[in-house]
């Protein structure tokens, strides 16, 4: 991994730590006044579990990592399921592996409104159920390893492409 990618990863990890310790949880800045205001429940990020926090920090630390089909570690590159398996093995005692569909079968279903940081989101991107997986980080955003553009990045659940392909969410945490 080159120095620039590592520095971006460290910056993302630092920002995630700030966000997860209270700088982005249950209040948001009102665009007009600049003051904090409570968000409706459907717009808030539910509080993550301790494991979820760790998962998000690891995920954000991999931003900019190269995509590689079948990739299972950051040095060689990651695909979506390899990224999830790698992060969960580093951040939790849980072992998740296999394809996105295999990973989905092991988790407990959660509604989109009940997503917490660290939960997994699944999409139909190849005319196959659960063909893509990402890690939810809060506020309608997730980290994933896309095959296009070639690097791990953040996307929005409510963007046109992913909103129309979202299938389900799963959690591995209590």
Active site residues: 80, 132, 144
Between helix 80-91 and helix 50-61 the angle, nearest 10°, is 130
Residue ranges of E strands in the chain: 27-29, 36-38, 72-73, 77-78, 108-110, 120-123, 132-138, 141-144, 153-156, 166-171
**Cβ(5)–Cβ(78) below 8 Å:** no
103/92 Cα distance (integer angstroms): 15
| 34 conformational bin, left if phi > 0, alpha if psi -120 to 50, beta if neither | left
**Mode of pairing for the β-strands spanning 120-123 and 132-138:** antiparallel
**Mode of pairing for the β-strands spanning 141-144 and 132-138:** antiparallel
∠ CA 32-35-38, nearest 5°, is 100
């Amino acid at each position: 991994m080159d120095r620039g990618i590592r520095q971006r990863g460290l910056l993302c990890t630092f920002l995630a730590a700030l966000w997860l310790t209270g700088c982005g949880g249950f209040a948001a800045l009102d665009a007009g006044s600049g003051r904090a205001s409570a968000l409706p429940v459907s717009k808030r990020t539910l509080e993550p579990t301790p494991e979820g926090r760790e998962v998000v920090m690891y995920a954000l630390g991999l931003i900019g990592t190269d995509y590689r089909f079948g990739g299972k570690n950051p040095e060689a590159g990651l695909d979506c399921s390899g990224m999830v398996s790698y992060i969960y093995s580093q951040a939790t005692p849980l072992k998740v592996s296999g394809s996105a569909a295999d990973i989905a079968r092991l988790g407990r279903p959660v509604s989109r409104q009940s997503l917490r940081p660290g939960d997994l989101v699944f999409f139909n991107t190849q005319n196959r159920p659960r063909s893509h997986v990402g890690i939810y980080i809060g506020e309608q955003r997730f980290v994933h390893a896309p095959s296009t553009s070639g690097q791990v990045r953040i996307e929005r659940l409510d963007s046109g492409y992913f909103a129309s392909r979202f299938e389900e969410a799963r959690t591995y945490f209590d």
